[in-house]
Each structure stands twice: as structure tokens, then as C-alpha cells.
Amino acid sequence: MRQRDRYIDFLRAFALIRVMTYHTFGWAWLPLAFPSMGIMFALGGGLVAASLDRAGSARAFLRKRVRRLLPPFWVFGAVMVAVMVALGWQVDSDLGQPFSWSTIWLWLLPLSDPPSSAQGFEWVVAVWYIRIYLWFLLLSPAMLWLFRRWPLRMMALPPVVLIVTVLGLVELGGRTYDNVVLLAAYACCWMLGFAHHDGKLRELPLKRTLLAGVALLGIGLWYALTHQEQYGTYNIDDIPLANMPYCLGAVLILLRIYPRFTWLERLPTLGAVISLFNSRAMTIYLWGNFAIAMSPIVLGYSPLAQYDTDDARGMVVEYATAWTLVFVAVLAVGWVEDVGAGRRPRLLPWDRVRPVPASRPAPELAPVRQVVFQDNVVQDRPAVEQPVAEPQPQPLPRPAAKAQPQPQPAAKPAPQPVPQAVGEVPLPSLVRAFGRRVVLSEGVPGRGRPGG
């Protein structure tokens, strides 16, 4: 089992909390404080690069990653479509799309925004992230191959595409325009995830990298503040040309400094919560807006209805209620993520950070010195850790038969065969020096070839 990166897990969990907080309170400064979407796409890029390297082929990679992405989305879509149909599926001039069999298939394969009613538009507005993530999955085999060969050219391509598209130099249709703009806005963050996986970011000089990140943050903030009248807000999420450099700068800084998170081992409860967020990230993201929309209704039928006011206290109560409903969704359908990933389904995948127990030490092995016979010189091979074998009794050599008395001197007994190394010549002189037995290794009587 691969050990999880606690810093990456912390960034993903904090990004989800920021998204939920922004959708509840709507504060425009939150994307500036922590650009969650750029960070989530960067973490996704690193995860996809690792998956591509393990899969070995684009087909195996796509089968695995799409299987993990779509089942939670299908469950969410089935509930949303059923609720919108039950409520009448009404549309108006600004929100919603008519229910049509020509577009309802997008709830199965979200290559574009799936249709929704006017009432359910806010419930499913976050589906755009699933759509862009799916497009990045489809493009990643080619993107990773190109990025590893021409990283600078690949990093320069998305800004050019974004500028040309947003300024209207190339005319694109509505759905195509949205896909191209969002892909170009977050493609650099996605490829920084590639660089993080390959270890390229750690090779960059720290001071220069941090200065470059701060400069990109400044460019994005400057563009957002100077185009408030055009967009009606300084929220970078609504300004693509500000969003791209700002997210890129934040990701560059966060992935380059890379602090150690060993302190998390001393807080097992916090580690368990972070693990839960990462194991149910898709469920939390998809059901967050629906939980926010349902929180006033749930509070109206609960004893806490008196606290659901229009002031700051009422917003905090609704925020806490929305998180409670998200927790209910995690219990109810979060296990679908385990099924998609091929894991055993669990209601709450608490994964506490505990110190690894010390394993039983392995038995010590006695070093064995190998002996090689070559050119009548005994040479030592490097010591090899081998178990000490019990000495085996060696059969005594048979005594030579007594010679019959003859007028001539008795013939000498034939010499015993001498063990030889493979491809080496006999060493009669060395054998006579050592006697009838040759010790091939210390403490182990040899009975064959060296090392046999």
C-alpha cells in the first residue's frame, strides 16, 4: 500500500472547505485568499501523472480513472434529475434548459454541462468541475507525453489560447467557448501537477520560484481589480484572464515550498478528518451546493428554526446545517467512491495516522567468505550474507589397498579428484598442501564447486 502524502491531503481538504464556505457566504475575497479550483486541478494533474505511469497504457489509465470519476456523478445525477422532474422541470430565459433526450445523455458522460431546471440550476452548477476534469483525463496521455519533451512550450500554449479566445480573436460557440476557456485557464495548473510528480519543481531555485509565483499573483490581482466594471466583481473565478495567472502563482508557491507535515501524526483526530475528506472528495464537492440549498428547509422543520435568521448568526447556523447534510450524503452514497476505485465499501473511511509498530528484527546472518581458485592463488570474493549451515559429516576416504609384494616398487595410488571451479584448471599442488579435503568457505566443509 502506498503511503499518502499528508501535505497534499491537507491542501485538498482545505480546498473543499473553502469551496463550501464560498458557496454559502459568497465572499468575493475567498478565491483570492485561497484559489481552491486551481489547486484542485494541480493536485489532480499530479495524481493523473502517477496513474499514467502505473497503468502502462492510455486505455488502462482511462478505464481506471473514468471508472473512479463517473459512478459518484451518476448517483448525484440520478437524484437531481428525479427531483427536478418531480418539481416540474421549469425553465426561464436565464436559467435552466428544457428536458430533452438529445441532451439528457450528458448526465451519463458530461462532456458539456448537463441540462437542469431553473430551480435546480444552483444545485448542479458545480458540475462544471467534473466536466473539465473529464476533458483533462481524456487529454492527459497526450499532454503528459508532450510536456515531458517540451515543458516550456506546453506551459506557454494555454495562455495564448486563453487570450485569443477571451478577446474574441477566434469566434467559438457557447458550449465550445466554455470548455476552451476553462481548459486553458487551468491547463497550466494541471501541468504543474505533472512537474510536481516528476520532481521537476523541487529542482527549481527556491527564491526565484517564489518571486515568480508572487509576480503571477500580482498580475492576476491587478487584472481583476482593473476590470471590475467590465465583470461587475473582482472575483477571479469570474475573470478568466485574472484567474489563470493568480491560480498558477499560488500553485507554484504551494508546491515548491512543500513543508513537512510530520506534526500531523501527533493529531490523530485531525488526520482522520483529513483522510475522510480525501476519501470522499467527489461526494463532498458534488453534494455541497444541494446541501446548502436544503439547509433552510431542514432548519424550518427542526427545533433550530428560531435561529435561522437573516443576520450573521443565521448564516452560521445554515453553514453548520449544510455540513451536517453533507455528512449525511457521505454516509448514504459516499461508498460509491469505494466501488468505483475497486475498494471494499465503507461508510466512514477513517484512516488515523498512527506510528508504524516496530517489526520483529530478522535473524542475523553470518557472513560467508567465498573462495575462488584461479592461477594457483586463493582470492576472496565480497562477503555475502548467508545463513550459517550446520556442518555435515564428511565420509572418510577409503584407505588404499595394500600392494602385493613385487620385485619392483609398488605403484602409487591414484590421486583423488580435486574440486574445481567452473572453467578453471586442477590445482594438484594446492590440494597436496591442504590435504585430501579443501575448505571452500569458513566454517562450512566444501563438497563441490565454490558457492555450491
Closest C-alpha to 63, from 155, 142, 151, 138? 138
Per-residue cell: 55: 497503468
Exposed/middle/buried for 312, CB within 10 Å: 0-12, 13-18, 19+?
Answer: exposed
Residue 250: pLDDT over 70: yes
Please tell me the predicted confidence (pLDDT) of residue 420. 47
Q: Which of 25-29, 345-349, 425-429 has the highest mean pLDDT?
A: 25-29
Dihedral in degrees, nearest 10, Cα atoms 355, 359, 365, 370: -60
Please tell me the predicted confidence (pLDDT) of residue 140. 97
CA angle 128, 131, 134 (to 5 degrees): 150
d(CA 383, CA 321): 67
* DSSP labels, 212-245: HHHHHHHHHHHHHHHTHHHHSS--GGG-HHHHHH
Per-residue cell: 429: 599442488
pLDDT for 194-241, tens place per residue? 999 999 999 999 999 999 999 999 999 999 999 999 999 999 999 999
pLDDT for 131-184, tens place per residue? 999 999 999 999 999 999 999 999 999 999 999 999 988 888 778 999 999 999
* Paired strand residues for 371: 380
Parallel, antiparallel, or unpaired: how do β-strands 377-380 and 371-374 relate?
Answer: antiparallel
Closest C-alpha to 182, from 118, 123, 110, 254? 110
Please tell me the predicted confidence (pLDDT) of residue 437. 41
pLDDT for 398-414, tens place per residue? 544 444 545 555 555 55
Considering the entire predicted model, what is its pTM? 0.77
